[in-house]
Amino acid sequence: MTFVVVGGDAAGMSAASKARREAPDREIVVFEKGQWVSYGACGLPYYIKGEIQSLEDLVSVTPEQFREERDIDLRTGHEVVDIDPGDRTVTARNDDGEVTVEYDDLLVATGAESVVPSIEGTDREGVYTLGSMTDGKELREFVARSRESSPVEQPDSGPACHFLETCEGAVGIVGGGYIGVEMAEALAANDFEVHLFQRGDRVLKGFSEATSERVADHLREQDVALYLNAEVRAFDGGEAVEAVVTADERVEVEMALLGTGVRPRTDLAEAAGIELGPTGAIAADEYRETSAPDVYAAGDCAEVEHVVTGDPDYVPLALTANRHGRAIGQTVTGDPTEGGAVAGTAAVKAFDVEAARTGVLDHEEARAAGFDPVTETIEAKSRAGYYPEDGTVTVTLTADRGTGRVLGASLASGYGEGAVHRSHAVVAAVTEGVTVPELSNYDLAYAPPFNTTWDPILTAAKVLGGQL
Ligand code: FAD
């Protein structure tokens, strides 16, 4: 009984490791086209920033550990080029040629790839994406090279470089999603003058408007030049990029980063006749089994079920990949386990602000799922008024007017002031179908250094309850 896995990161290695724990004698083969496995791409912005010293620090289990300690037949440098569900075989290519193995169970965990928009100049030197360890390495090398050739003089105090003054080293980031925002911090910390271009009218568009505004204000406070409603039309230059061009601006830069989203890597599955779902990612049932028998899909290449709408959704995030991979490892070793729905919970740090979101916030999306959405936003103190170091938390809460069910929330606070950890109470409410009055009666912890007696979540629920 051979369990074959395509893709050696979060989903793939979680499945392989779980299967090994459950079935010590089972043959497990993992094909990974690159050299890195079980890495935390989520840490790349902080590696580029310089807070994490080495790429190896982002690896949780090394290839040698998988091979020697977990007895997994891990084949790095092997790109799977064909899946044949009829013959139940997988063919992989490496430097020495091709190898075909038979599977009893197969997991497709091929992840996602960065979207490169079709605009002029994306192939110029100095235009980067950040979707892989190799991308991260190249970006850090760029930062090191650039800082070496034009070192910024550190003043005794204050920011090393202010973008309103002329300063060596301007960079352009295209896209105000979480990667764009995290990279603004990483590059500013290396004294680059950061220009962030966002096509829509706000950053972090999956969060509430109040969260977007708070993050945008803070980016500006940190001297990030933020261009909203600014669709990038081209990257000008010769061999290398020299400027980011929008309808209204031409901003000279020495580097441009595309943070324009990801798309599921589905080519291999599609070629094998495996069905995709309405989102364009691989469709899978509650056990993560695809349209091909005994072929499973998990992680950024696959669709998930949304816990609020019950509809297929595409939410490419790390916990889902790990969780669904683990469930598949259990299923293929004789204990059928559902992967579970997702609430679309996400968190991001933007300099000294943290933000989180969960559930459904967008009214159009809520209406399409049959709800009558109503939303309230409050701002409340993050700690007791008399306690030093107090700040504020902005909470947006959305519910269904008819039933009172909590549909979603978005929070922002100063970094370390609890927006992200507070969101977990709402994740529970959203997942369990709790109503606003029930949420407002949650027995949340209280002590002055952490919150007010009525935590901002409870206050938001009370205010929204008034609307209902
Ligand atoms: P991947 O991690 O993409 O792994 C897929 C693997 O499959 C790759 O190693 C690839 O080389 C391999 N592969 C592909 N095709 C083949 C083939 N044909 N043959 C063999 N191997 C193949 N998520 C969060 O939840 N929070 C965060 O803060 C966060 N930050 C992020 C920051 C960055 C910069 C990036 C890039 C991602 C971030 N993510 C974050 C997303 C998170 O990293 C992904 O959701 C997670 O890695 C998905 O795991 P996966 O196993 O599905 O796919």
Task: Give the number of the atom of ligand 1 that is nearest the alpha carbon of residue 268.
Answer: 18
What's residue 274's pLDDT?
98
Q: Which atom of ligand 1 is nearest to the CA of 81?
A: 18
The alpha carbon dihedral of 366, 298, 137, 131 has a sign of negative
pTM of the model: 0.95
Q: Which domains does the chain have, with CATH numbers?
A: 2-112+262-331 (3.50.50.60), 127-258 (3.50.50.60), 352-467 (3.50.50.60)
Alpha carbons 13 and 19: distance in angstroms, whole number: 10
Interval between CA 77 and ligand 1 midpoint (Å): 16
* Closest CA to ligand 1's atom 46: 318
Residues with CB under 6 A from ligand 1: 6-12, 31-34, 41-42, 44-45, 79-80, 109-112, 130-131, 179, 265, 268, 299-300, 316-319, 321
| Amino acid type, 135 | D
Q: What is the rounded CA–CA span in Å between residue 205 and residue 191? A: 27
Residue of minimum CA distance from atom 31 in ligand 1: 42
Cα separation, 118 vs 343, whole angstroms: 31
Name the residue of 4, 75, 110 whose CB sits within 8 Å of the most ligand 1 atoms, as the mutation to test its pocket: 110
Distance 287 CA to ligand 1 centre (A): 21
Determine the distance separating the centroid of ligand 1 and the alpha carbon of 301, expressed in angstroms. Answer: 9
From CA 11, how far away is CA 80, in angstroms rounded? 16
> For atom 22 of ligand 1, which residue has the closest CA?
7
What's the 327 CA to ligand 1 centre distance in angstroms? Answer: 18
Number of the ligand 1 atom closest to the C-alpha atom of 319: 25
The rounded Å distance from CA 384 to ligand 1 centre is 40
Q: 269 near 290, Cβ under 8 Å?
A: yes
- Residue nearest atom 42 of ligand 1, based on CA coordinates: 318
pLDDT tens for the 468 residues of the chain, in order: 999 999 999 999 999 999 999 999 999 999 999 999 999 999 999 999 999 999 999 999 999 999 999 999 999 999 999 999 999 999 999 999 999 999 999 999 999 999 999 999 999 999 999 999 999 999 999 999 998 776 555 444 444 444 434 446 999 999 999 999 999 999 999 999 999 999 999 999 999 999 999 999 999 999 999 999 999 999 999 999 999 999 999 999 999 999 999 999 999 999 999 999 999 999 999 999 999 999 999 999 999 999 999 999 999 999 999 999 999 999 999 999 999 999 999 999 999 999 999 999 999 999 999 999 999 999 999 999 999 988 999 999 999 999 999 999 999 999 999 999 999 999 999 999 999 999 999 999 999 999 999 999 999 999 999 999
The per-residue pLDDT for 79 is 98
Which numbered atom of ligand 1 lies nearest the CA of 37? 9
Kindly give the distance from the C-alpha atom of residue 300 to the centroid of ligand 1, in angstroms, as a whole number: 6
- Atom 39 of ligand 1 has which residue's CA nearest to it? 42
- Residue whose CA lies nearest to ligand 1 atom number 12: 7
Residues 309/310/314/315 CA torsion (nearest 10 deg):
70
Catalytic residue status for 161: no
Which residue's C-alpha comes closest to atom 2 of ligand 1?
A: 9
- Chain-centroid distance, C-alpha 148: 31
d(CA 466, CA 468): 5
Nearest alpha carbon, ligand 1 atom 7: 7
CA 31 to ligand 1: nearest atom? 20
- Distance (angstroms) between ligand 1 centre and the Cα of 212 equals 26
Q: Which atom of ligand 1 is nearest to the CA of 299?
A: 52
The crossing angle, in degrees rounded to 10, of helices 456-467 and 419-432 is 50
Q: Look at phi and psi of residue 294 and say left if phi exceeds 0, alpha if psi is from -120 to 50, else beta.
A: left
Q: Which two tokens stand for residue 199?
A: 């096509």
Distance (Å) from CA 40 to ligand 1 centroid: 8
d(CA 409, CA 397): 5
Given ligand 1 and candidates 33, 113, 114, which is best to mutate, with the most ligand atoms within 8 Å of its CB?
A: 33
- The whole-number pLDDT of residue 164 equals 39
